C-alpha cells in the first residue's frame, strides 16, 4: 500500500471517528453524569429533558416560577445507589447566573447546612441543592433521608459534569 493511499485511509478513518464522536454528543445532550462517571450509583432511566414549552409537563404548577426567572431547559434522571437508596437529579439551565440567583433566593434555607459545592450549596435532609453559573441543581432522595453521604457523591458527580463543559 503506498503512502498516499495510506494517508487517504487514515483521513477517512479520522472523519469516521469524528462523526461518531459528534453523533454521540448530539444524541446525549444531558448535563447529567452517565454510568462511567458515577461512584456507587447507576442510572435507572433514560435522562429526560424539557424546554419552556413543555416544562409544565414536568413541574406543572411550579413551571411559571422557573419561566418567570428565565428558564431555558431542565435535564432530569433517576439513579439507584448500591445501598438501595433511590434518587433523582435535576439540572435547570437558566438564562444567566442572575436568573439562578433569583430562584435561589426564593427557596428557604431553614433546616439546611451549607456545603462546599458549586458556587453555593445547601444540604437538607434528603436533598442537596447547589447553583453553579447558570445552572441550578437539585438532587433528592426517596425514602430514607438519613443517607446524606451517597447523595453528596451524586451531587459531586453532577458538579464535575458541569465543570467538564458538557454540551446541551
Partner 1 sequence: MRRWYKGERVKGAGLDGVSVHHVTRRTFCRWVGAASAISLGCSGAPETPPSSTTGRSKVVIAQDPKLRDTRGKLSPQRVAALLNRALQALFDRDHPAEAWHQVVRPGQVVGLKVNCLAGKGASTSVELVEAVCESLQQAGIRPDKIVVWDRLNADLESAGFRIRERGPGVRFIGNDVLGYSDELYAHGKAGSLVCRTLTEVCDVVINLPVLKDHSITGVTIALKNLFGAIHNPNKYHLNAGDPYVADVFMLPPIRSKVRLSICDAFTPVYQGGPSYMPQWMWPFNSLLVSLDPVALDYIGWQLIEQKRAEAGMKPLRELKREPRYIFTAADAQHRLGVCDPQRIQVIRI
Considering the complex, state which of residue 9 and residue 109 has its C-beta at the smaller distance from partner 1.
109
Minimum CB distance to partner 1, residue 81 (Å): 15
Residue tagged 464522536 (cell numbers) = 21
Minimum CB distance to partner 1, residue 6 (Å): 53
Considering the complex, state which of residue 92 and residue 135 has its C-beta at the smaller distance from partner 1.
92
Minimum CB distance to partner 1, residue 14 (Å): 42
Residues that bind partner 1 (CB under 8 A): 56-57, 59-65, 86, 88, 107-108, 110-112, 124-127, 140-145
Residue closest to 168 by CA, chosen among 18, 55, 29: 29
Exposure string for 94-133, b = 16+ CB within 10 A, e = fewer: beeeebbbbbbeeeeeeebeebebbeebbbbebbbbbbbe
- In whole angstroms, give the CA distance from residue 37 to residue 66: 28
Considering the complex, state which of residue 37 and residue 153 has its C-beta at the smaller distance from partner 1.
153
Minimum CB distance to partner 1, residue 10 (Å): 47
Does residue 100 contact residue 120 with C-beta atoms inside 8 Å?
no
Considering the complex, state which of residue 120 and residue 144 has its C-beta at the smaller distance from partner 1.
144
Amino acid at each position: 500500500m503506498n503512502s498516499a493511499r495510506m494517508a487517504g485511509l487514515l483521513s477517512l478513518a479520522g472523519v469516521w471517528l469524528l462523526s461518531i464522536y459528534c453523533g454521540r454528543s448530539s444524541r446525549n445532550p444531558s448535563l447529567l453524569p452517565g454510568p462511567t462517571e458515577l461512584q456507587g450509583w447507576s442510572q435507572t432511566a433514560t435522562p429526560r429533558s424539557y424546554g419552556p414549552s413543555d416544562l409544565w409537563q414536568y413541574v406543572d404548577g411550579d413551571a411559571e416560577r422557573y419561566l418567570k426567572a428565565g428558564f431555558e431547559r431542565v435535564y432530569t434522571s433517576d439513579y439507584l445507589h448500591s445501598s438501595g437508596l433511590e434518587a433523582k437529579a435535576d439540572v435547570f439551565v437558566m438564562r444567566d447566573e442572575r436568573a439562578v440567583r433569583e430562584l435561589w433566593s426564593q427557596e428557604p434555607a431553614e433546616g439546611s447546612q451549607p456545603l462546599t459545592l458549586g458556587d453555593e450549596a445547601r444540604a437538607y435532609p434528603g436533598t442537596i441543592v447547589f447553583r453553579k453559573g447558570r445552572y441550578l441543581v437539585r438532587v433528592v432522595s426517596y425514602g430514607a433521608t438519613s443517607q446524606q453521604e451517597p447523595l453528596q457523591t451524586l451531587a459531586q458527580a453532577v458538579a464535575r459534569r458541569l465543570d467538564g463543559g458538557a454540551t446541551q
